Amino acid sequence: MIRIFPSLRLTSLLSAAKPLCSSSPAKKPPQYTSLTESKSSRPTKSLSITPKTPLYLRTPSHATSLSEVWKWHDWAKDLASSVEESSKNSEDTLDSVILHRELKWLIEDSIVDDPLVILHRSEIADNGEKNVKLRASLEELYDLWRQRIEKRRPFQYVVGCEHWRDLVLCVEEGVLIPRPETELIVDMVEELVTRDEWFKKDIWADLGTGSGAIAIGIAKVLGSRGRVIATDLSPVAIAVAGHNVQRYSLEGMIEVREGSWFEPLKDLEGKLVGLVSNPPYIPSDDIPGLQAEVGRHEPKLALDGGIDGTDSLFHLCHGASRMLQPGGFFVFETNGEKQSKMIVDYMMTSDLKDCFSDLKIVSDFAGINRFVTGFRL
């Protein structure tokens, strides 16, 4: 088993990868170990990590008078409006329109009553004496909003969840907040499996699953017979992904395994019908200049893709040739134009050149060449 670390150079990757392609056992009939069995036999460090409860699921144990909440809301609005002046000359700024929307969502997540009692105060006959039930104390709400604006803590960490596709996923520090672009991976899989039922029959894998977003999205489009293995190296990610899988009652379909890339999938060589991944792909040199929410708060392990950002991607290409059964599909997310082209060129010219067909670059809604897709020959 070859393990590639993000720091490993491209050249070593190339030479190390050669035997992998030819060694893929293609003709074995699909035969997999029971998902639950392998799960129980694999003790993980992450068991001890308890994921945080997102704000909107907490018990509403804080009765607070409306007038106090209004006061907080006024303060929060003012703070949101003031950001643009205070950060005019820097490039990485907050946008007050977006902040106002986030504030509305923060209220929706924290209040049991209709959020309109706060947002449309003018229509409330009440003079503010009425109590409302909150899921966080007012003190905490002050603190959370300050963290959002002053510490640039991502909104999704503030409320402990991210709305992604039709899912609400728990997220917390240590786990990457799934990006809107990545939703398209599930769209592509959905399109594929609706066109060809064959892809519903065998196991899919989502490598570097983070919050479990892609794995859960795929399990849902696969339907009741679907099976997905989700892996990650980060114990926090494993715990959070497991928790999200549980929240959507998909334990029977998704198995979360801890370990580096293909290492936890040794039992599945040549058996996967689909392989997806959004691996870390940001070039190391870009990490210090990242947007504050990302650079200061999200895990480096989820972002840093080595010198030109492609360390994990190249590793995944080789793994794909080894793990996929003939006809199997893969999609990887990349940093854009340059990386996607590098990956496709590599797959067409290197020792992998006879491994894949229909290699394609697919762009995201911003028009950036975001994904590379293809099929195992």
Ligand X SMILES: C[S@@+](CC[C@H](N)C(=O)[O-])C[C@H]1O[C@@H](n2cnc3c(N)ncnc32)[C@H](O)[C@@H]1O
Question: What would the two tokens of residue 166 be?
Answer: 């039709």
Interface characters, 261-290, with ligand X (x: CB under 6 A): x----------------xxx----------
Nearer CB in complex with ligand X: 64/160: 160
Nearer CB in complex with another protein: 231/335: 335
Residues 6+ apart with CB under 8 A from 13: 4, 311, 314, 315, 318
> Which of ligand X, another protein, none binds 165 (CB below 5-8 Å, type-dependent)?
another protein
Nearer CB in complex with another protein: 269/371: 371
Interface characters, 164-203, with ligand X (x: CB under 6 A): ------------x-x---x---------------------
Residues 6+ apart with CB under 8 A from 164: 178, 180, 182, 183, 213, 217
Q: Which of 21, 111, 132, 237 binds ligand X (CB under 6 A)?
A: 237
Q: What's the longest Cα–Cα distance across the chain?
A: 75
Q: What CA–CA distance (Å, rounded) separates 12 from 141?
A: 50
Q: Which of 214, 221, 245, 323 binds ligand X (CB under 6 A)?
A: 214
Q: What CA–CA distance (Å, rounded) separates 320 from 110?
A: 43
As measured in angstroms, the least distance from the Cβ of 93 to ligand X is 24
Question: What would the two tokens of residue 17 be?
Answer: 């990868």
Size of the site for another protein (CB under 8 A): 45
The answer to whether 280 and 302 have CB atoms below 8 angstroms apart is yes
- 368 touches another protein by CB under 8 A: yes
Nearer CB in complex with another protein: 203/342: 342
Residues 306-365 interacting with another protein (rule: CB under 8 A): 333, 335-336, 364-365
User: What is the chain's Cα-based Rg?
Assistant: 23
Nearer CB in complex with ligand X: 4/103: 4
- 183 touches another protein by CB under 8 A: yes
Nearer CB in complex with another protein: 162/202: 162
- 369 touches ligand X by CB under 6 A: no
Size of the site for ligand X (CB under 6 A): 22
As measured in angstroms, the least distance from the Cβ of 39 to another protein is 29
Strand 254-258 and strand 227-232: the pairing is: parallel
| H or E segment and range at residue 80 | helix 66-86
Q: What CA–CA distance (Å, rounded) separates 214 from 232?
A: 12
- 280 touches another protein by CB under 8 A: yes
The one segment of 37-45, 132-140, 145-153, 207-215 that binds ligand X by CB under 6 A: 207-215
Question: What would the two tokens of residue 36 be?
Answer: 């639950």
The three-point CA angle 13-14-17 to 5° equals 80
> Which of another protein, ligand X, none binds 286 (CB below 5-8 Å, type-dependent)?
another protein
Q: Is 25 exposed, middle or buried (0-12, 13-18, 19+ CB in 10 A)?
A: exposed
- 242 touches ligand X by CB under 6 A: no
Residue 327: name the closest of 279, 271, 371, 278 by CA.
Answer: 271
> Which of another protein, ligand X, none binds 214 (CB below 5-8 Å, type-dependent)?
ligand X
Residue 267, amino acid:
D
- 145 touches ligand X by CB under 6 A: no
The answer to whether 208 and 236 have CB atoms below 8 angstroms apart is no
Q: Report DSSP letters for 145-186, one per residue.
A: HHHHHHS---HHHHHTEEEETTEEEE--TTSPPPPGGGHHHH
Nearer CB in complex with another protein: 158/352: 158
- Kindly list the residues in this chain that would bind ligand X in the complex (CB under 6 A): 176, 178, 182, 207-211, 213-214, 231-234, 237, 260-261, 278-280, 301-302
- Kindly list the residues in this chain that would bind another protein in the complex (CB under 8 A): 95, 97-98, 101-102, 105, 116, 120, 123, 154-156, 163-167, 176-177, 179-181, 183, 278, 280-282, 286, 290-291, 293-294, 297-298, 302-303, 333, 335-336, 364-368, 370
